[in-house]
Structure 1
Amino acid sequence: MSTAVKMDEEAKAELEALQAEIKLKTGKKVTQQEILSQLIRSATDDRSTFIDSFRDGEVALNEAAIDQFNEGQISSGVETDETDIDEILYG
């Protein structure tokens, strides 16, 4: 079952250029549908990076940066609950 996908002229031109480059470098003729299917599989392999590519501005921290941040945290040994936080923030 196939469904039509609408894309702008620039994306269509890039898809056609990719199709031509695959033919040139591999000697294999592939359909645009095959290319899109492979691209989707590739994006699924690294889903978080693909999703992050749609974010505006800064991307989320990677795991190494999160680990580095967490290593700098220490416990003061004092239990803090919501009422303590409210009292500190709002008096």
Structure 2
Amino acid sequence: MVTSVKMDDDTKSRLERLQAEIRLKTGTRVTQQEVLARLVENAVESKADLIDSFREKRVPLSESEREQFHDGMVSSGVTTTEEDIDDVLYG
């Protein structure tokens, strides 16, 4: 069963360029359906990276956002070591 996928002109053009590059470098003709199937297959292997690519990007912060963050920080005067953190987390 074949289902159509809607995509904008820019994405379609990039898919066509990728298809052409695969043919030039491998000498093998592949359909756009094969290219998309392989992309999805590879994306499953690096699913976390794919999911992260859809997260809202918040880094790097603007200078004013960075200053606002640091303005809210207060030093307690106590140095915390890794052992202190382990004690709190693991008892």
TM-score bin (small chain) = 0.5 to 0.7
Cα deviations across residues 29-77 of structure 1 (Å, max 9, x unaligned)?
0000000000000000011111000001148xxxxxxxxxxx9323259
CA–CA separation in structure 1 for the residues paired with 2:88 and 2:19:
59
What is the TM-score of this pair, normalised by structure 2? 0.66
What is the TM-score of this pair, normalised by structure 1? 0.66
Partner of 1:25: 25
CA RMSD, 1 decimal: 2.4
- 1:74 equivalent to 2:86? Answer yes
CA–CA separation in structure 1 for the residues paired with 2:6 and 2:88:
56
SS at match of 1:74: helix
For structure 2, the residue ranges without an aligned partner over 5 or more in a row are 60-80
For structure 1, the residue ranges without an aligned partner over 5 or more in a row are 60-70, 80-91
Partner of 2:35: 35
CA–CA separation in structure 2 for the residues paired with 1:41 and 1:14:
19
What number of residue pairs does the alignment pair up?
Answer: 67
